[in-house]
Amino acid sequence: MTEALKITNLHKSFKTGFFFKRKKILKGITLTVDKGEIFGYLGPNGAGKTTTIKCIMGLIFPETGEIQILGQPYLSLKAKTQIGFLPENPYFYDYLTATEFLRFYSQLFQLRKEDREQRISELIELVGLEKSRNLQLRKFSRGMLQRIGLAQALLNEPTIVFLDEPLGGLDPIGRKEIRDVIVRLRDEGKTVFLSSHILQDIEMICDRVAIIVNGEIVNAGRLSDLISEKVFFTEVIVSGIEAKKLENSGDSLNQHGERIFIKVYDDAKLEDILQLIQSHKGRIHSLIPRTETLEDLFVGMVKKQ
C-alpha cells in the first residue's frame, strides 16, 4: 500500500442565510496522496481547501464520501496517532512559554518523561526558536506562532503531516526555513499534505498538486506533467544603449533606470535584436526564456470556472 491518504467522492455543505439554505462546499472530492511525498492542495479563497482538511481531521463530518489514512478509517485511533496537524489560524494559550506549550502537548501525546525534554529541544531548534523558548506566546509574532505550531504538529513523530497555510505570516527567510523543514520531513520518509496560496513555494517543494475551484478538483498530477515547457517569450535585459534604438525590437519594452527590459515573443527576431545591441555596444545582462509557471496554470484554471 503506497497511499498515505485516499479521499473518495467527498461531499460537504453548510446551512447559510436567513432561511438556512444549504450551500455546497465540497462537490465530490476524490484524490490520493502517496507515501513519502509533499502534496500541494491549491485553490482560491472559499474553494474548499480548509473544509477538506477539517473533514480529514474529523473536526467536521462530510455528508457522503470515504476518507482513509494509511489504509485505516480516518476516525480510527490507529489513524489518529499517526497524524500531525497545523491549522490555518492556530490558537494557543498565550501565557505559556514555547517550552511550556510543547511540554503540555507532549503530555497529551503521553511521551515518556525521559524523552520529552530532548524532543522539545530538537523541535524548537528545528523551527528556529531557540532564542524564544522561554518567551510567552502572547509576545510571539504571527510567523513565530506558525513555527511553534509546526513544532507541535511534529511532537508525536507523525507519519503524515497536514499543514494548512503554514507559510502565512512568514518573511522570506522564515518561508525558506520552513520550506527546508518540510523537505526534510519528506527526506525522513514522512508524507506532507500542504495547503497554501503561495504558489512559488508550492512549485519549489511539491511533488504533486491538486487544484480545487468551487469545491471541485479541476486538475491534479505531477508539476512536470501539468506545466508546459513551451517558451512563451524571452526576456532580454540590457543597458548602455538608448531605448529608442530598440523600440521596434520586441513586443514589449520597459526601462527602469539604466536597464531596459525587452520581451521577445518571436524567436526569429531574437538573434537580430542581440546583434543590434552589440552593434551599439550595449551590455546584455541576462537572456531568460520564460516558460509556463504554476501561477499561470492556476490562474488559467480559476478563470475557466
Render pLDDT for 10-60 as a digit per residue (tens, 0 to 9): 999 988 777 778 889 899 999 999 999 999 998 888 888 999 999 999 999
> Distance (Å, rounded) from C-alpha 77 to C-alpha 84?
13
Same domain as 147, residue 30:
yes
Do 286 and 235 meet the contact criterion of CB atoms below 8 Å apart? yes
Q: What is the mean pLDDT of residues 84-102?
A: 89
Domain count, the chain: 2
Q: Looking up cell 494548512, which residue turns up?
A: 164
Same domain as 218, residue 239:
no
Does residue 28 or residue 286 have the better pLDDT?
A: 28
Query: What is the arrangement of strands in the sheet containing 208-213, beginning at the earlier edge strand?
Result: 83-86, 160-164, 191-195, 38-42, 208-213, 216-222
In angstroms, how far is CA 162 from the centroid of its own chain?
11
> Distance (Å, rounded) from C-alpha 263 to C-alpha 62?
49
Same domain as 241, residue 213:
no
Query: Which of 154, 189, 223 is the last residue in one of the domains?
Result: 223
> Distance (Å, rounded) from C-alpha 250 to C-alpha 236?
9
> Distance (Å, rounded) from C-alpha 144 to C-alpha 100?
15
Do 4 and 70 meet the contact criterion of CB atoms below 8 Å apart? yes
pTM above 0.85, yes or no: no
What single-letter DSSP state applies at residue 186?
H
Note the pLDDT of residue 249.
65
pLDDT, tens only, 148-173: 999 999 998 999 999 998 887 778 88
Query: Which of 223, 247, 263 is the last residue in one of the domains?
Result: 223
Q: Which amino acid is at 180?
A: D
Same domain as 265, residue 249:
yes
What per-residue string of b and e applies to 8-33 under the rule 16 or more CB within 10 Å gives b?
A: eebbbbeeeeeeeeeeebbbebebbb
Whichever domain contains 298, its CATH number is 3.30.70
What single-letter DSSP state applies at residue 89?
S
> Distance (Å, rounded) from C-alpha 252 to C-alpha 264?
7
Note the pLDDT of residue 293.
67
Query: Which of 200, 223, 246 is the last residue in one of the domains?
Result: 223
> Distance (Å, rounded) from C-alpha 111 to C-alpha 233?
56
> Distance (Å, rounded) from C-alpha 185 to C-alpha 179?
10
Same domain as 172, residue 37:
yes
User: Is the confidence at residue 295, as pLDDT, over 80?
Assistant: no
> Distance (Å, rounded) from C-alpha 260 to C-alpha 252?
10
Same domain as 206, residue 114:
yes
> Which range has highest mean pLDDT (24-33, 114-123, 136-145)?
24-33
Parent domain of 246: 231-304
Note the pLDDT of residue 219.
84
Distances (CA, A) of 211 to 55, 86, 196, 214, 292: 17, 20, 11, 10, 16
Over its C-alpha atoms, the chain yields an Rg (Å, rounded) of 24
Same domain as 253, residue 210:
no
- Taking every pair of C-alpha atoms in the chain, what is the biggest distance, in angstroms? 74
Same domain as 52, residue 146:
yes
Same domain as 93, residue 63:
yes
Same domain as 214, residue 237:
no
Whichever domain contains 151, its CATH number is 3.40.50.300
Same domain as 170, residue 68:
yes
Same domain as 277, residue 206:
no
